[in-house]
A and B are shown apart, each in its own frame.
Chain A
Amino acid sequence: MSAIKDGLRFKTAFTTTAWVLIPVAIGINLIGRFFTQTLNLPLFLDTIGTTMAAFLAGPWVAAVAGVLTNLVIGLTLEATSIPFGIVNAAIGIVAGVMAAHGFLRSTGKIILTMLCLTAITIITATPIVVLVFEGVSGSGVDAVTGFFVASGQGMVESVIGQQLVTSPLDKVLTVLFAFALIKGVPQRYRPPFGREVIPF
């Protein structure tokens, strides 16, 4: 169980393997984002890599992967993605802490993990969308926000409503994809934290 403790402690979490895993997580986040953008889907799927990093190396490593994903995108492609680094990091922390506490070991607990990830997304993303971007994101989900706004809802309610519509599916798919990826990797290639939280 020491690998789980190491993953939960900031000082011991960042092994060389963790540092190498972070760019892989960033790459997976990027590809999900590019797909949903190109297809103009009302989904993001840009935290699959962060979630995978959380399951393999713990919350801190995932948080860094999350922040760096948005920094890399923000500093090289779209500056507007920088503030959402907070959301990405929060998802990594929640996913990592839940993984460490055995929340990946049964279907019921995995569903609970998906719910918690949805909740943390709404809690962290809403203030950013409302205060910084006045409710919009420039992507497909704006149509959903627009629907709530048109029905006379306030901006905060509309953004929360939009997230309640899009986020659960996004997080369910994110956790499923992250899980399926890890299952594709033989145990011996998984970092010790990942071996212990998903022992099959």
Chain B
Amino acid sequence: MASRARRVAPLADHDDHPDVVEADTATWSPARVAELYDIGNTWLHRTHPLTKLSAVLPLTVAGFVGDGAGVPVILLAVAIVTLVVSRLGIIALKSLRLMAPMTLALVIIHGVVRPYDSEPLAAWGPISVNAEGLALAGTTAARLAVFVIAVTAAMATVHPKIFATALIQRGVSHKLAYAYLAGAELIPEMRLRATQILEAQQSRGFDTKGSLPRRLRTLFALLKPLLVSSLIGVEMRTLALESRGFSLPGRRTAAVAVRERGRLLQRSLLLASIPLLVLAIIW
């Protein structure tokens, strides 16, 4: 572990100005923070975090170009192939898995449940499937999937701390970045707690007994001590942060700064959304 941290010393030694310090940081910090984040060193990991995030907007807007699922499906296919070729197929898989329940709901509600005047595509007794509804469900799912895969690819290839550093370097409040990072840290922990409590309850057979409100009350009673103590801990953390310069005025630096690059590309990506939006509206 120590050797890892020492490895950053020569990286950070460059200069006093953090802007020019090279950070191959996607792989640097060994601890996995958020669920989505994968350690790796692909071209996507090496791309500036804000470039990846800027690409989300034009990609999402482009998904709305055209009437049907044509454009979003092509975008989706290109994204999936690119990710697989870059050995990041797991990102595509995660995105599609995330889209699965929503896609199913879209298909059922629009393709099956919703009444239509037109002839059904197929019918089994009371259940009929409508082509128009299926098309709408497919188009919506494909469009959402483009957005999901773009966000997932952008965020799964950057360490949250590096993401926050990149934002702070562009003038985002370091306090906001603190709250974001502290919140992201809580995801695995809170999920673990929820699972533990539910498993403990189920192993005692609570799930079969009692009504919903009663079960919720039991859950709340189990959680309350933890949540109250985290509220009581706010005072101590406030003082500890004050002691660590949280509200000091002035510029923040970073032990591992993010090399400033791609500003022009980021602006171009954001600007590209405008013609795409126009295209999406008129087509």
Given the complex of chains A and B, what is the CA–CA distance between A33 and B152 in angstroms?
A: 20
Given contacts A76-B36, A173-B216, are A145 and B102 in contact (CB under 8 A)? no
Given the complex of chains A and B, what is the CA–CA distance between A64 and B175 in angstroms?
A: 11
Question: B278 interface residue, CB < 8 Å from A?
Answer: no
Question: Which residues of A are found within 8 Å of B178, using beta-carbon distances?
Answer: 19
Given the complex of chains A and B, what is the CA–CA distance between A150 and B127 in angstroms?
A: 11
Question: B70 interface residue, CB < 8 Å from A?
Answer: no
Report yes or no: B231 in contact with A80, Cβ–Cβ below 8 A.
no
Given the complex of chains A and B, what is the CA–CA distance between A82 and B57 in angstroms?
A: 13
Interface string of A111-137 (1 = CB under 8 A from B): 000000000000000000000111111
**Among B223, B227, B246, residue most surrounded by chain A Cβ atoms (within 10 Å):** B227
B80-88, B234-242, B250-258: which lies at the interface: B234-242
User: How would you classify the secondary structure of chain A's contact residues: helix, strand, loop or mixed?
Assistant: helix
Identify 7 new A-B residue pairs, CB closer than 8 A, beyond the known A74-B151, A136-B106.
Answer: A20-B238, A23-B183, A26-B183, A134-B137, A184-B224, A184-B231, A185-B228
Question: Which residues of B are found within 8 Å of A182, using beta-carbon distances?
Answer: 231
Question: Which residues of A are found within 8 Å of B186, using beta-carbon distances?
Answer: 23, 26-27, 30, 72
Interface string of A14-35 (1 = CB under 8 A from B): 1011011111101110110011
Question: Which residues of A are found within 8 Å of B231, using beta-carbon distances?
Answer: 21, 24, 52, 181-182, 184-185, 189
Report yes or no: B198 in contact with A35, Cβ–Cβ below 8 A.
yes
Interface string of A62-106 (1 = CB under 8 A from B): 001100110111111111101000000000000000000000000
Say which residue of A27, A39, A142, A150 sits within 8 Å of B230 (CB atoms): A27
Question: B184 interface residue, CB < 8 Å from A?
Answer: yes
A sample of 10 inter-chain contacts (CB < 8 A) reads: A19-B178, A26-B179, A27-B183, A69-B183, A73-B187, A77-B35, A149-B114, A181-B224, A184-B228, A189-B234
Question: A152 interface residue, CB < 8 Å from B?
Answer: yes
Interface string of B88-107 (1 = CB under 8 A from A): 00000001001001101110
B9-17, B19-27, B188-196, B260-268: which lies at the interface: B188-196
Interface string of A26-56 (1 = CB under 8 A from B): 1110110011001101000000000010000
Question: Which residues of B are found within 8 Å of A69, using beta-carbon distances?
Answer: 183
State the Cβ distance, A174 to closest chain B Cβ, in Å.
11
Question: A108 interface residue, CB < 8 Å from B?
Answer: no
Question: Which residues of B are found within 8 Å of A38, using beta-carbon distances?
Answer: 194-195, 198
Report yes or no: B140 in contact with A41, Cβ–Cβ below 8 A.
no
Question: Which residues of A are found within 8 Å of B35, using beta-carbon distances?
Answer: 76-77
Report yes or no: B235 in contact with A17, Cβ–Cβ below 8 A.
yes
State the Cβ distance, B52 to closest chain A Cβ, in Å.
11
Given the complex of chains A and B, what is the CA–CA distance between A189 and B175 in angstroms?
A: 22
Say which residue of B136, B183, B242 sits within 8 Å of A134 (CB atoms): B136
Question: A139 interface residue, CB < 8 Å from B?
Answer: yes
User: How would you classify the secondary structure of chain B's contact residues: helix, strand, loop or mixed?
Assistant: helix
Question: Which residues of A are found within 8 Å of B2, using beta-carbon distances?
Answer: none
Say which residue of A23, A64, A137, A177 sits within 8 Å of B102 (CB atoms): A137
Report yes or no: B147 in contact with A24, Cβ–Cβ below 8 A.
no
Nearest neighbor of B219 in chain A, beta-carbon distance:
A35
Interface string of B152-195 (1 = CB under 8 A from A): 10010000100000000000000110111011111101110111
Nearest neighbor of A188 in chain B, beta-carbon distance:
B235
Given the complex of chains A and B, what is the CA–CA distance between A22 and B231 in angstroms?
A: 10
Given the complex of chains A and B, what is the CA–CA distance between A23 and B185 in angstroms?
A: 9
Question: B272 interface residue, CB < 8 Å from A?
Answer: no
Question: Which residues of B are found within 8 Å of A133, using beta-carbon distances?
Answer: 102, 140, 144
Nearest neighbor of B100 in chain A, beta-carbon distance:
A138
Question: A180 interface residue, CB < 8 Å from B?
Answer: yes
Report yes or no: A150 in contact with B183, Cβ–Cβ below 8 A.
no
Report yes or no: A146 in contact with B101, Cβ–Cβ below 8 A.
no
Question: B113 interface residue, CB < 8 Å from A?
Answer: yes
Question: Which residues of A are found within 8 Å of B150, using beta-carbon distances?
Answer: 79
Say which residue of A19, A30, A76, A138 sits within 8 Å of B105 (CB atoms): A138
Nearest neighbor of A142 in chain B, beta-carbon distance:
B105
